[in-house]
C-alpha cells in the first residue's frame, strides 16, 4: 500500500491518544489468518532501528493482539494495513496539510476511504477480495519524548500507539464520551494481551485528544 499516494489523494482524519505507561511486549498467539501477509511496515526514520531490536515484530504483535481481542472471521483474508515508522518532520507536515494543525503529534491514522473502515478490493470471479484499511504513521521523536518524560517503556508506548491507530482504522473513535469509554476499554484488553499496563490509569491522561 503506497501511503504517500494516499496522503496526496485524499483528506484524512488524524487521531491522537494518551501515552502508555506499560511494560515490555510479550509473544502473542497468532489468529487463524496470517496477519503478516496483510501488514506492510515501512521504517522511514532510521532512529526507530536504534531503539527497537525488531520494529517489524513489535508492529506485528500489536496488530495481532488487536485481532485476537476483537475477533475475526475464520479463513478470512487479512485486511491490509500499512504502519509507517516516521519522524516528527513527516508527521508535522501531514498533520498540517491534512488536519490544519501546524505541529507534530505521536500518531496519525489515515483511513483509505472517508467515513468507512476500509475498501473492499474484489477477488477473481466474485471471490472475497482484500480489505484495505489504511495507514498508521508514528513520529519517532514525539514517541521517544513522551516515553522518556513520563518514564515509560519506549517499546510498550510504541505498541500502544500502533494498537490505537489500528482501532481507528477499524472504525473506533473517542470524540464522544461513550465512544472514548468503549475504545479505552478495548485498548486495555488488547494491551493486557501484550503484557502492557492500563495506559489510562494516570489522571492527567484522561480526555487527551
Residue 127 in domain: no
| Lowest-confidence region among 71-75, 105-109, 136-140, 145-149 | 71-75
Distance CA 40, CA 42 (A): 7
Distance CA 146, CA 199 (A): 13
Q: Is the pLDDT of residue 125 over 70?
A: no
| Lowest-confidence region among 5-19, 43-57, 58-72 | 5-19
Q: Is the pLDDT of residue 14 over 70?
A: no
| Lowest-confidence region among 15-24, 47-56, 120-129, 141-150 | 15-24
Residue 152 in domain: yes
Residue 8 in domain: no
How much of the chain exceeds pLDDT 70, in percent?
A: 68
> Whose grid coordinates read 515490555?
24
Which of the pair, 142 or 170, is modelled with greater confidence?
Answer: 142
Q: How many domains, the chain?
A: 1
Distance CA 45, CA 196 (A): 25
Residue 44 in domain: yes
Q: For the segment 61-115, what is each residue's pLDDT rounded down to a tens digit?
A: 999 999 889 876 655 677 889 999 999 999 999 999 999 999 999 999 998 864 4
Residue 9 in domain: no
- CB-CB contact of 111 with 170 (8 Å): no
Residue 124 in domain: no
Mean of all residue pLDDT scores within the chain:
78
Q: For the segment 159-193, what is each residue's pLDDT rounded down to a tens digit?
A: 999 999 999 999 999 889 999 999 999 999 999 99
Residue 7 in domain: no
Residue 30 in domain: yes
What is the predicted pLDDT for the residue at 113?
62
CA-only gyration radius of the chain, Å: 16
pTM score: 0.77
CATH of the domain at 141: 3.40.390.30
> What contacts 35, CB < 8 A, 6 or more positions away?
60, 63, 64, 67, 78
Q: Which residue segment(s) compose the domain that 60 sits in? A: 16-114+135-197
How confident is residue 3, by pLDDT bands cut at 50, 70 and 90?
very low
Amino acid at each position: 500500500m503506497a501511503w504517500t499516494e494516499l496522503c496526496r489523494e485524499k483528506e484524512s482524519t488524524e487521531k491522537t491518544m494518551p501515552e502508555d505507561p506499560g511494560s515490555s511486549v510479550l509473544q502473542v498467539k497468532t489468529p487463524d489468518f496470517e496477519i503478516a501477509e496483510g501488514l506492510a511496515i515501512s521504517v522511514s526514520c532510521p532512529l526507530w532501528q536504534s531503539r527497537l531490536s525488531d520494529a517489524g515484530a513489535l508492529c506485528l504483535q500489536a496488530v495481532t493482539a488487536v485481532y485476537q481481542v476483537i475477533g475475526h472471521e475464520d479463513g478470512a483474508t487479512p485486511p491490509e494495513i500499512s504502519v509507517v515508522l516516521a519522524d516528527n518532520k513527516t508527521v508535522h507536515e501531514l498533520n498540517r496539510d491534512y488536519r490544519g494543525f501546524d505541529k507534530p503529534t505521536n500518531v496519525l491514522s489515515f483511513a483509505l476511504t472517508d467515513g468507512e473502515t476500509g475498501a473492499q478490493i474484489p477477488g477473481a470471479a466474485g471471490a472475497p477480495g482484500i480489505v484495505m484499511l489504511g495507514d498508521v504513521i508514528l513520529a519517532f521523536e514525539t514517541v521517544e519524548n513522551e516515553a522518556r518524560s513520563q518514564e515509560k517503556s519506549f517499546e510498550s508506548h510504541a505498541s500502544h500507539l500502533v494498537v490505537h491507530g489500528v482501532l481507528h482504522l477499524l472504525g473506533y473513535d473517542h470524540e464522544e464520551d461513550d465512544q472514548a469509554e468503549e475504545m479505552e476499554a478495548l485498548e486495555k484488553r488488547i494491551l493486557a494481551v501484550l503484557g502492557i499496563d492500563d495506559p489510562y490509569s494516570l489522571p492527567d491522561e484522561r480526555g487527551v485528544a
